[in-house]
Structure 1
Amino acid sequence: MNRYLLNISYIGTHFRGIQKIVNKVEGPHVDTKTIQGCIELALRSLNPINEIQTVISSRTDAGVHALHSTLHVDLQRRNSKPFDPTTITCVLNRLLQKNGFPIRVLSTQQVPDTFHCRYNARGRNYLYRFAVAKNGNSHTDRLKNHDVFMPVEELDRCYFLQNCTFDIERLRAGSHMFLGLHNFRTFMSVSRQRSATRDHPRYTLRTIDQIIVKPGKSVAVGANARLAESLYDYWDIEFTAKAFLYKQVRRMVGALLALATGRIDERSLYQMLTIPSKNSWDHRVLLSPPFGLYLCRVYYDEKDLKLPEVFNSNELAGAASN
């Protein structure tokens, strides 16, 4: 049995999320409404003799995308030899493309049997993309002229705000409040899968290492890109931490957008952060939609990925004689 790390990317628009749902009543089945289920379906084409059980490093919800995420899987060939990682990548991508799944395997790597893609992750980087209508291009005026434009390439890829009263510097300053160690219980949505661990006071402690707010750009092409960037200011917010809570990033973005548009003030944001409770959530804040969110990178220490050195029999015999 050998363990493999799969580096993957996907467009999450039409998926229920990355995590498959196991129905114990109906028994094992292929869940093609999730990224994990689609990859396990593709892995069957390798015909391993063991049962395929993948482990995901990061949970993303319905509509969230990933430029880079990871999962690991144990596979055993009939001849007990390891699978070639490049072959795994090619076979999986061929099957995923054939079935029309918007998922691609970036690379495959054999890793130590003790490696765990979630527990060994040293950090994660998320990006949230949004675009704000430029001054004088308000939602009301544009509706009167019937010229509300959104490039087709950006559908379900970016959050468009039809609000000309937007203060990006206020958003940037507010983002600094999240940096460092905080109890983010207010910014955690309640998961359907509750556990005693999630109720522990220390579970909601997280350290945000970095938040970068910077100008973005349209992913449209040609005339669509020129028109989009004449109508909207694009912005990117990047969050880096070892781990995040359930829907934490989308809630932080929602709070920052509410601050930038004047729905809340800095005092309200400070109270949500310093009084950690689900009751502290300011309901003037809207949860930012999932389609603007991208998991950009899962980080590992290279030494955790390195296979242990295996000496051949001649080297062992030579060492014994010395």
Structure 2
Amino acid sequence: MSKDHFPKTGEYYRNCEVLEGGALPEGMVRVALAVEYNGACFHGFQSQPSGVATVQQALEKALSKIANEEITLVCAGRTDAGVHATGQIVHFDTLAQRPDKAWVLGVNAELPDTVSVRWAKQVPAQFHARFSATARAYRYVICNSYARPALQFDQLTWERRELDIAKMEQGAKQLIGRHDFSSFRASQCQAKSPVREITHFDLHQRGELIVLEVKANAFLHHMVRNMVGVLLAIGAGEAEPQWVSELLAIKDRRQAGVTAKPHGLYLVAVDYPEHFELPQLAPGPHFFAEPVGGFSRI
């Protein structure tokens, strides 16, 4: 199939993701990327009709220049305004034949300093950044200090109140497992089911920094930030740890606490079946060297 049939891969993707039998049209390849970005500089990941700056917009512009054709990409998980990523996974289809380093070095040369491609790999047509994912992991970083931090202020959540980590751990432990997370989803969440399964929820303290790491098969809109908001209230002594179980039972977002700020939240890893053989990188953010699950398990 000639390039004339598909002048824009964005149109191709929207109309027919793969041909019958799971193959791409002749000459077309699917490429996966791992992307890191500072979400404080963007109005979320997903492109918006208003034209405001988004991560997707920046990536597609850079990719289209390197591919010399319009590129439309798909991500593993849409992040909100202010939320960061060290391990966001995206894929796109293209007729352009480029070495992997062109999709890394070439694209990075066209991206703003706040977005970076970490690796690129050609993948089979059966790979899908969103639907092939088996789990996702987030880290939420809190600076628990009396005075506000001047460094990395847009990449941390400052909490002035002294937090009781032990009580926060007790609350987090109740979130592990398969539950109806209606009390922890945003009112505008469009997921068909509120049921999700959290495989682990770890807390770790390093000086004034507290990191919460949570991994699940999938997350609802604002689910991580809402869970953190509840745990912050518990840590500050505004509620007891059993409040978490009560909220799970109530299944009413209106009864839960405030949504934690986005600045401390990072999408750090997305899991896929091993047969795709995707590269593995340290999840970060850079001031944490532990792999996902490497903090003390609750």
Q: Same fold (TM over 0.5)?
A: yes
- The interval holding the TM-score normalised by the smaller chain is 0.7 to 0.9
> What secondary structure is seen at the aligned counterpart in 1 of 2:131?
coil
Is the counterpart of residue 170 in structure 1 residue 167 in structure 2? yes
Is the counterpart of residue 269 in structure 1 residue 241 in structure 2? no
Give, in angstroms, the shift of residue 185 of structure 1. Answer: 1.1
Give the match for residue 200 of structure 2.
Answer: 210
1:159 equivalent among 146, 157, 160: 157
| Per-residue Cα deviation, 1:131-150 (whole angstroms, up to 9, x for no partner) | 223xxx5xxxxxxxxxx352
Scaled by the length of structure 1, the TM-score of the pair is: 0.74
1:289 equivalent among 257, 261, 274: 261
Taking the aligned partners of 1:300 and 1:45, their CA distance within structure 2 comes to: 29
1:93 equivalent among 108, 111, 115: 108
Q: Which runs of 5+ in 2 are unaligned?
A: 1-27, 279-298
Answer yes or no: is the 8 Å Cα contact 2:88–2:267 preserved in 1.
Answer: yes
> What secondary structure is seen at the aligned counterpart in 2 of 1:257?
helix
Q: Which runs of 5+ in 1 are unaligned?
A: 24-30, 138-147, 218-232, 307-322
| Per-residue Cα deviation, 1:222-263 (whole angstroms, up to 9, x for no partner) | xxxxxxxxxxx2211100112111010000000011011121
Quick one: percent identity of the two aligned structures? 29
> What secondary structure is seen at the aligned counterpart in 2 of 1:90?
helix
Structure with bigger helix share is 1
Give the match for residue 65 of structure 1.
Answer: 84
Taking the aligned partners of 1:257 and 1:149, their CA distance within structure 2 comes to: 17
Answer yes or no: is the 8 Å Cα contact 1:6–1:106 preserved in 2.
Answer: yes
* Over 6 Å off, 4+ runs: none
Taking the aligned partners of 1:238 and 1:278, their CA distance within structure 2 comes to: 22
Give, in angstroms, the shift of residue 173 of structure 1. Answer: 1.0
Give the match for residue 52 of structure 1.
Answer: 71
Give the match for residue 128 of structure 2.
Answer: 116
Amino acid at match of 2:110: L
Taking the aligned partners of 2:277 and 2:56, their CA distance within structure 1 comes to: 21
Taking the aligned partners of 1:180 and 1:246, their CA distance within structure 2 comes to: 18
Taking the aligned partners of 1:149 and 1:185, their CA distance within structure 2 comes to: 33
| Per-residue Cα deviation, 1:23-77 (whole angstroms, up to 9, x for no partner) | 6xxxxxxx4610001000001212445x421111111100011111111000103
Taking the aligned partners of 1:132 and 1:214, their CA distance within structure 2 comes to: 12
Taking the aligned partners of 1:305 and 1:21, their CA distance within structure 2 comes to: 32
Answer yes or no: is the 8 Å Cα contact 2:76–2:130 preserved in 1.
Answer: yes
Answer yes or no: is the 8 Å Cα contact 1:48–1:76 preserved in 2.
Answer: no
Give, in angstroms, the shift of residue 101 of structure 1. Answer: 4.1
| Per-residue Cα deviation, 1:169-227 (whole angstroms, up to 9, x for no partner) | 00111110000000001100022xx65xx3x4xx110000011111135xxxxxxxxxx
Give the match for residue 288 of structure 2.
Answer: none
Answer yes or no: is the 8 Å Cα contact 2:167–2:240 preserved in 1.
Answer: no
Alpha-carbon spacing, 1:116–1:7, altered in 2? closer, same or farther (3 Å): same
2:137 equivalent among 125, 147, 157: 125
> What secondary structure is seen at the aligned counterpart in 1 of 2:134?
strand
Scaled by the length of structure 2, the TM-score of the pair is: 0.79
Answer yes or no: is the 8 Å Cα contact 1:129–1:236 preserved in 2.
Answer: yes
Residue range with higher mean Cα deviation, 203-212 or 83-92: 83-92
Taking the aligned partners of 1:65 and 1:102, their CA distance within structure 2 comes to: 10
Taking the aligned partners of 1:47 and 1:4, their CA distance within structure 2 comes to: 12
Taking the aligned partners of 1:163 and 1:266, their CA distance within structure 2 comes to: 17
Q: CA RMSD in A?
A: 1.8
Taking the aligned partners of 1:73 and 1:32, their CA distance within structure 2 comes to: 22
Give, in angstroms, the shift of residue 161 of structure 1. Answer: 1.4
Answer yes or no: is the 8 Å Cα contact 1:38–1:101 preserved in 2.
Answer: no
Give aligned pairs, total. 251
Taking the aligned partners of 1:128 and 1:47, their CA distance within structure 2 comes to: 35
